[in-house]
Amino acid sequence: MNVLLVGNGAREHVIAEALARSRPTPNIFAWMKKTRNPGIAALVDRITVSNNYNPLGILDFAKKSSVNLAIIGPEEPLFHGVADAMEDAGIRTVGPRQKPAQLETSKSFTRELMKKYHIPGSPKFKIFKTMNGLEKYLNENMPVVLKPDGLTGGKGVMVQGEHFDTIAEALKICREILKEHRAVVVEKKLLGEEFSLQCFVSGMDVKTMPPVQDHKRRFMYDQGPNTGGMGSYSCANHLLPFLTPNGLAQATEIMRLTVKALTLETGQRYKGVIYGNFMVTADGIKLIEFNARFADPEAMNVLPIMETDFLTVCQAIVDDQLDQLDVKFKSLATVVKYVVPVNYGLPEDQHHAVKSDIIRIDDIGQAKLYYAGVYSDKTGLHLTSSRALAVLGVSPDLYEAEIIADRAADNITGAVDYRTDIGKIAALMEKIEKQCGDIWKN
């Protein structure tokens, strides 16, 4: 079996590790954009480092490597139609075609789909293609969240009370969004605790993975700007401290209904992974957004504790056999902490540049290490401007898993930083009480 893996982050590193653990072990070919990930490089047979995710270039590499299965990690190649190019050439692909990938690439598509098929979980929303009627709608629906319709690398969402306060400011933001995007989605601002639910999907079949909580804010106790994610945890009972079995069932049902609607609407089978970003609110489970891929860092919480063979799951996805597979995960808790450049997520003028600085990995104990935005040369391991390394602690106990991850992160030195609070039970309880206290009281 020859497998192509597209992408070069820690998410793709953990996917490569899961493939390398599969039996029989496949030959792995990797397509990376810009940076050669040293962790993936150690696990694969051949690598192309390109400056793009051009479908034709990737297809050519796949054909030359006699690839029979492709796995697409990030959203960007999905947006460019890499899955379509592969499938049209007869290479079966884990990752949706462009049309069903709209679930991630167009926020207006997803909200309209949920509305049309009466799927619960959307906040009140309206889509605006021009400024007409916006001021009146804002006046009547504050507080709101403003979302550009299109891929923004996770940085486009503007939340009232955080990124702006007044209607005048909201209108200015909408005007800017409409210059670059076909629409702006205005949503009612929800309050509650967020979680990620990742699922393997094949047509209308959905197999869920354990729920995970990501921490997007740059600083301790969820302060500072949003980032790609500073770390995440999952619990041994496959729930979260604020998520009941009923809440998880509601989120799973929203996923199932959406996948069914997506198949009916696009006429195409979704083959790949969907990750739903949900929120537990006083009003039940709400859907913040869907993504057409594994989440990062959350992929590192689930794949290392998966009992079922990963390649077998991938084959079931492309062969339309997922309903016949029991996808199992070990009852273990996990904590992931990202080690990032000290200036990560901050305006460039707030810190001296540390790009290219050397970092050192000392004793990481029992933790697992995943490489993200770093490169290595003869002089050592170097930072880029993205998240550098992720460490994972796994244990039957969340308390132990956090200690394992924290010790490892502390032993990675250089111009780096990480959040010591992620996965710590006391910090978690405080956060949940703050966000959900009123929900429990009601």
Binding stretches for ligand AMP (CB under 6 A) = 123, 145, 154, 157, 159, 187, 189-190, 194, 216, 277, 288-289
Per partner kind, with CB cut-offs from 5 to 8 A, the member of ligand AMP, ligand GLY, none near residue 21 is none
* DSSP per-residue letters across 312-359: HHHHHHHTT-GGG----B-S-EEEEEEEEETTTTS-GGGS---TT-EE
Helices (H), 122-185: 134-141, 167-180
Q: Which is nearer to ligand GLY, 298 or 417 (CB)?
A: 298
Any idea how long the chain is? 442
CA triple 431-334-193, angle to 5 deg = 25
Binding segment for ligand GLY among 16-24, 65-73, 290-298, 320-328 (CB under 6 A)? 290-298
Q: Which is nearer to ligand AMP, 95 or 229 (CB)?
A: 229
Residue 423 Ramachandran class (φ > 0 left, ψ -120 to 50 alpha, else beta): left
Residue 99 and residue 101: Cα distance in Å, rounded? 5
227 binding ligand GLY? (CB under 6 A): no
417 binding ligand GLY? (CB under 6 A): no
List of long-range contacts for 180-183, beta carbons under 8 Å, 24+ apart: 180/148, 180/150, 181/148, 181/149, 181/150, 182/129, 182/149, 182/150, 183/108, 183/127, 183/128, 183/129, 183/149
Residue 64 and residue 61: Cα distance in Å, rounded? 5
Please name which of 383, 391, 341, 390 lies closest in space to residue 365, comparing C-alpha atoms.
391
DSSP H or E stretch at residue 184: strand 184-188
4 CB-contact burial (10 Å; exposed 0-12 / middle 13-18 / buried 19+): buried
Does residue 398 sit in helix, strand or coil?
A: helix
Shortest distance, position 195 Cβ to ligand AMP, whole Å: 10
41 CB-contact burial (10 Å; exposed 0-12 / middle 13-18 / buried 19+): middle
154 binding ligand GLY? (CB under 6 A): yes
7 binding ligand GLY? (CB under 6 A): no
Shortest distance, position 158 Cβ to ligand AMP, whole Å: 9
Q: Which is nearer to ligand GLY, 291 or 386 (CB)?
A: 291
40 binding ligand GLY? (CB under 6 A): no
296 binding ligand GLY? (CB under 6 A): yes
Shortest distance, position 365 Cβ to ligand GLY, whole Å: 25
Which residue has its beta carbon closest to ligand GLY?
A: 295
- Helices 107-116 and 245-266: crossing angle, nearest 10°? 100
Q: Which is nearer to ligand AMP, 289 or 296 (CB)?
A: 289
Encoded tokens for 24 = 């029989």
Binding segment for ligand GLY among 13-21, 43-51, 288-296, 428-436 (CB under 6 A)? 288-296
Q: Which is nearer to ligand GLY, 128 or 278 (CB)?
A: 278
Question: Beta strands 416-417 and 333-341: pairing type?
Answer: antiparallel
Encoded tokens for 433 = 């009480």
229 binding ligand GLY? (CB under 6 A): yes
Shortest distance, position 288 Cβ to ligand AMP, whole Å: 5
Residue 422 and residue 433: Cα distance in Å, rounded? 16
295 binding ligand GLY? (CB under 6 A): yes
Rounded to 5 degrees, what are φ and ψ at 281? -120, 170
Q: Which is nearer to ligand AMP, 154 or 203 (CB)?
A: 154
104 binding ligand GLY? (CB under 6 A): no
Interface with ligand GLY: number of residues (CB under 6 A): 7
Per partner kind, with CB cut-offs from 5 to 8 A, the member of ligand AMP, ligand GLY, none near residue 280 is none
Q: Give the x/- contact pattern for ligand GLY in 182-221, rule: CB under 6 A.
A: --------------------------------x-------
Q: Which is nearer to ligand GLY, 65 or 198 (CB)?
A: 198
> 265 with 245: CB under 8 angstroms?
no
Per partner kind, with CB cut-offs from 5 to 8 A, the member of ligand GLY, ligand AMP, none near residue 296 is ligand GLY
Per partner kind, with CB cut-offs from 5 to 8 A, the member of ligand AMP, ligand GLY, none near residue 60 is none
Q: Which is nearer to ligand GLY, 7 or 55 (CB)?
A: 7
298 binding ligand GLY? (CB under 6 A): yes
Site for ligand GLY, rule CB under 6 A: 154, 214, 229, 291, 295-296, 298
